[in-house]
Structure 1
């Protein structure tokens, strides 16, 4: 009975709506006839420079809204080829294109025909834009592909970077950029010869909370940065010895290369400086096949020209923990989940008159992969140098080589002093300019 009444009610609603709609005049004519109040500019916004913009509609006490998204038309977006269809590519990178404003996936490269067919169907990639590793060089004939995004084991980065550059394609490579500083420099040189851009996917340098911490330090908002503490820990499965990350020839190193690099690169990014001294130590459980070739745990100290000391710790032996703390003269910045793909936080602890305050900053989240992909696309469109170019990756390799040297020798390693800020980065991001 109740279902019948519901059905009769819906029919009556549609009849009334239909009758009303028959005589309803919509749009400007309806406004002119007084049926609707005219909208204000606050509600309608305006189009400026090809973008829709709205004036502020909240009082100054509330956090303002961000800019209205202004994605480029699909046909104008920069086409990316994803090389390697492993976990990172399928779980993070390809889904991130849905949040991209300037880029789109147009080609895939994989050694698995089954994965190629499946993923291409999911993302609308043309069959002719699916390549094996053997046929990769024919990507030069695909005008849709502007950028090759390398998501392969570290030891394969150099080969596919050089092949992509030879094909006339720009290159975005995952970190670390290779397995040695020599290979990294070869990648830089290959891209320069070919006249294409090379960028390393240091997503942390584009992530809002880390960028805010960097700005606090650079502006000396809370005085001098005294200490930086970075922790990046996660576990490896019991049969993890089969993973490529546990093979030195493929990975280049253990926890340092994979997760400790986040601590190293972020310390350099936050300070803008290069270390003048490094001291490190490593540990691997004896008789554990997972760590027969690479280290399980590494701890290292960096001393910077400003006298800031960074203490960094990375391990494959403990439960997931990705935490960062900055000790400044008048405040402490506490940053849980700092190297995660999402869930970052930032709490500022400082004096508040005769009390202590703990203020948690809440920033609008951004997809880190979409943000870095869009930056690469913008560099292709404008011709500007990436913020994290190949030179930034080479410098990290030199630092990691010094870290291993110190750990093996059991003593600090002195480094040549490099004065200036951001000596290996490209121009500041637009919001920092």
Structure 2
């Protein structure tokens, strides 16, 4: 039996089926006169089982188009979501999307190495862009994506869905308001047992790396929002037990550590060898623990004051509504390209530290 990232997340997500899924924007915001039209680029697992269902529940945007290289998928989605032929594209004729007024936003849900190309092409076509994380496979690509969207006067948002949900926002608030004092230590880790040897994640030309470029970025981002600070240095180590599976350019297990300006430190693990998902934050006068901390929900946690009793939400609904609200009202979104760029700079530093065995300043 194959174990994949989707299976790992699905195990946790299945437990949320009995919990009401509500959107804060659905409850509080007035319905806009026109919903923004969204086209999904890439119809893999995440687009199929998370984004498309979410877009059936959003109040200010809706699914109107698709981009796929598989004709069979196009036919299935066309029937299921009532998508007209004129809003169905493949990777070759994608640029014609510029002439389609139905589509306002393009959501890039492709392998990591394709994010750069299709963000640039979408921006050139005059469409706002949402791009999955990691936003690119290099700092240079990330910088070019930001520049292209600014030049085209379109918004670029990165798919950090957790930034739109209550548990993560409470972690951010505690860093800001210091209910338990300053942060002193963070432990953030995320891994799953990958056994699908045909997964694109094992192709360094598509993924740009192993678990760090897959689920490790969640733990990396968590240390930043849990402290409210940007790291000043990193150290890292890798362990590879199956070089026949994990080829050069694909780490199997990666450990890394970070130092922050306040004196806080963090420790992290990401791996394709084991299922782990946790966030621990130590403060001067208390602590916070979350597990699960990053998947599709429901998330669960506690602090020194007790259980975190927060609203359980459909992450992707709030994410889509939050990003599209920023577009509609011409205001900055909370997960811009610059947020993705910060993680990319840290990832490059972590890979360098693992390769050289030295502490890398950032």
Q: Verify the 8 A CA contact 1:109 1:132 in the aligned structure 2.
A: yes
Q: RMSD value over aligned CA atoms? A: 1.6
Q: Verify the 8 A CA contact 1:77 1:103 in the aligned structure 2.
A: yes
Partner of 1:299: 255
| Cα distance change, pair 159–67 in 1 and its aligned pair in 2 (3 A) | closer
Partner of 1:273: 229
- Structure 2 residue runs of 5 or longer lacking an equivalent are 1-23
- Give, in angstroms, the shift of residue 317 of structure 1: 0.4
Segments ≥4 residues shifted beyond 6 Å: none
How do 1:53-72 residues align onto structure 2 when only pairs under 5 Å count?
Answer: 69=27
Greater mean deviation of Cα atoms: 108-117 or 286-295: 286-295
Partner of 1:226: 184
- Give, in angstroms, the shift of residue 70 of structure 1: 5.4
| Cα distance change, pair 186–168 in 1 and its aligned pair in 2 (3 A) | same
**Hey, what's the Cα distance between the residues in 2 that align with 1:379 and 1:366?**
20
* Structure 1 position 249 matched with structure 2 position 181: no
**Hey, what's the Cα distance between the residues in 1 that align with 2:319 and 2:204?**
28
- Give, in angstroms, the shift of residue 158 of structure 1: 0.8
The one of 215, 232, 236 equivalent to 2:194 is 236
| Cα distance change, pair 173–241 in 1 and its aligned pair in 2 (3 A) | same
TM-score (norm 2): 0.90
Q: Verify the 8 A CA contact 1:278 1:403 in the aligned structure 2.
A: yes
- Give, in angstroms, the shift of residue 272 of structure 1: 2.2
**Hey, what's the Cα distance between the residues in 2 that align with 1:75 and 1:386?**
20
Partner of 1:420: none
- Give, in angstroms, the shift of residue 292 of structure 1: 4.5
**Hey, what's the Cα distance between the residues in 1 that align with 2:108 and 2:235?**
32
Q: Verify the 8 A CA contact 2:163 2:169 in the aligned structure 1.
A: yes
* Structure 1 position 365 matched with structure 2 position 312: yes
How do 1:180-195 residues align onto structure 2 when only pairs under 5 Å count?
Answer: 180-195=138-153
**Hey, what's the Cα distance between the residues in 1 that align with 2:213 and 2:219?**
11
* Structure 1 position 393 matched with structure 2 position 356: no
Q: What CA deviation, in whole Å up to 9, does each residue of 1:270-299 have, x standing for no partner?
A: 222111110111111144324444001111
How do 1:15-414 residues align onto structure 2 when only pairs under 5 Å count?
Answer: 69=27, 73=31, 76-237=34-195, 240-318=196-274, 320-349=275-304, 359-414=306-361
**Hey, what's the Cα distance between the residues in 1 that align with 2:69 and 2:144?**
25
| 3-state DSSP of counterpart to 1:221 | coil
Q: What CA deviation, in whole Å up to 9, does each residue of 1:145-176 have, x standing for no partner?
A: 11000000011111111111111000000000
Q: Verify the 8 A CA contact 2:171 2:225 in the aligned structure 1.
A: no
- Give, in angstroms, the shift of residue 371 of structure 1: 1.1
- Give, in angstroms, the shift of residue 401 of structure 1: 0.5
Task: Please identify the structure whose Cα radius of gyration is greater.
Answer: 1
